[in-house]
Structure 1
Amino acid sequence: MRPVEPGQGGAVAGAGGPDSGARGHLRRDWTLAVAAGELVGFVPPAVTGATLAALGAPDLALVVGLTLAGALEGLSVGVAQAAVLRRHLPGVDRRRWTRATMAGAAFAWLVGMGGGALMGSDPASPALLLVVMVPAWTAALLAMGFLQWRVLRVAVPRSGRWVPVNAGAWLLGVMIVVVALSAAPNSWPGAVHAGIGVAAAVCMGLTVGALTARTLAQLVADDHVA
């Protein structure tokens, strides 16, 4: 069993094992933080995408603009998560965590937008593009969790499952947004589309937060009783 450092009492109840109440607080704080971070972080990509589309910007401008906006989204989520880690897992380097989240989000947007631009181009065959893009999309899905795990493992060594859980949570979260926005007819007013986007962002944040919070709390508990 790892010795409990000062300030980590919220994660365990003395030497007797995990404190279920503290784990519940961690799950709640983490879920709400991710939802809030995603709600704020949703704004830069939404505004950037709408502005560039209205201006008829070329694909390259869309890719660059949304990659930078995605980094801001990652910054918002990373800062919100780091605030929870400060209270519940102070051994995690919060600056590194925020940078990792920013990098993972930016890479995901780069691959997503870049892949979309390539798939829409004429020269290459769809089969060839899929051979190239499927591994890239997989890497984009795993990137944030992997980069965060490299920071998390310093404080929680046996935390490898954070990577697939994080990837699955974000995949489900993104699907919520895609389905919600796709279901809204283009003829609806812009304000309605904006409202749907905000609601979808909150649902995505709550979904990602809830799924990853459960795993994070369990990882911390398992590490302290190992």
Structure 2
Amino acid sequence: MTTTGHTSTRAGRRPGHEGGIFADWVLLVTIGEFLGFLAPALVGTLAAGTSPYRFLFAMVAAGLVEGAVLGTAQSVVLHRRWPALRRRDWIAATTSAAGFAWLIGMLPSTFDQVWLDWPTALTVAVAAVLGCLMLFSFGFLQWRVLRHHLARAWRWIPAVAIGWAIGLTVLLAVVLPLWQPGQSGIVVAAIGAIGGLVMAASMALLTGWMLNWMIRHEPH
């Protein structure tokens, strides 16, 4: 980042918002991600049993909704800190990342007949690549917006990847033991919603802490 760009960025901060934004971020991002995640949780329940390709399309569409809601919540906090940050750019980046992440995440189950016969080493390698693409998509696309307002914004990329990795791990730890064969769609969706809330809070806590740390350690 150039000195001129950094100076203009600092000048674009809103007076009175020089302190941390951790609490606002955790609250609004948890709510935003929880509400957004209800879309894929509901669609996944309703679309279960359809063809794999229709299910893929439905989940990606629901993921776009999730990303739009999450991006809107995040942009509220960020715009308070940096009034020059264009909220629609952040929302577009987050929406695109969510759709891409759901697409990548759905590929293994959609094309399971293709990879089941692959050698184990190849399966693991492809899974690792897909996992990295899914986890890093949010941070990378959001970094393209954040870099104009925050020095060393590249740190946001691994921070968001770690946040989502923790959030998804917590989600699976909550829902997998609770989901049982023969449960009604309402029960399945309710369990998914509970898992989504815990996931949202976990991701918001980690990313909020990192964003707050990045702001406090900006070079002067």
Same fold by TM-score greater than 0.5: yes
Q: Is the 8 A contact 1:108 1:141 kept in 2?
A: yes
Q: Distance in 2 between matches of 1:179 and 1:62?
A: 24
1:144 and 2:138 equivalent?
A: yes
Q: Alpha-carbon deviation of 1:125?
A: 1.1
1:109 and 2:99 equivalent?
A: no
Instruction: Sort the Cα spacing of 1:222 and 1:40 in 2 relative to 1 into closer, same or farther, 3 A.
Output: same
Q: Distance in 2 between matches of 1:200 and 1:85?
A: 26
Q: Specify the SS of the correspondent of 1:99.
A: helix
Per the alignment, residue 3 of structure 2 pairs with none
Q: Distance in 2 between matches of 1:194 and 1:64?
A: 19
Superposed CA RMSD in Å reads: 2.1
Instruction: Sort the Cα spacing of 1:123 and 1:180 in 2 relative to 1 into closer, same or farther, 3 A.
Output: closer
Q: 2:28 aligns with which of 1, 26, 33?
A: 33
Instruction: Sort the Cα spacing of 1:124 and 1:156 in 2 relative to 1 into closer, same or farther, 3 A.
Output: same
Q: 2:52 aligns with which of 56, 59, 75?
A: 59
1:211 and 2:211 equivalent?
A: no
Gaps of 5+ in 2: 1-5
1:171 and 2:165 equivalent?
A: yes
Per the alignment, residue 61 of structure 2 pairs with 68
Q: Alpha-carbon deviation of 1:155?
A: 0.6
Q: Alpha-carbon deviation of 1:126?
A: 4.7
Q: Is the 8 A contact 2:68 2:92 kept in 1?
A: yes
| 1:68-87 to 2 correspondences below 5 Å | 68-87=61-80
Instruction: Sort the Cα spacing of 1:169 and 1:120 in 2 relative to 1 into closer, same or farther, 3 A.
Output: farther
Q: Is the 8 A contact 1:118 1:129 kept in 2?
A: no
How many residue pairs are counted as aligned between the two chains?
A: 212
TM-score, normalisation: structure 1: 0.85
Per the alignment, residue 84 of structure 2 pairs with 91
1:118 and 2:118 equivalent?
A: no
Q: Alpha-carbon deviation of 1:124?
A: 4.2
Q: Specify the SS of the correspondent of 1:78.
A: helix
Per the alignment, residue 16 of structure 2 pairs with 10
Instruction: Sort the Cα spacing of 1:106 and 1:7 in 2 relative to 1 into closer, same or farther, 3 A.
Output: same
User: Percent of aligned positions with the same letter in both sequences?
Assistant: 31
The amino acid that maps onto 2:139 is G
Q: Specify the SS of the correspondent of 2:148.
A: helix
1:131 and 2:147 equivalent?
A: no
Q: Distance in 2 between matches of 1:122 and 1:133?
A: 10
Q: Distance in 2 between matches of 1:66 and 1:96?
A: 23
Gaps of 5+ in 1: 13-21
Q: Distance in 2 between matches of 1:122 and 1:217?
A: 42
Q: Distance in 2 between matches of 1:112 and 1:126?
A: 20
Q: Distance in 1 between matches of 2:116 and 2:42?
A: 31
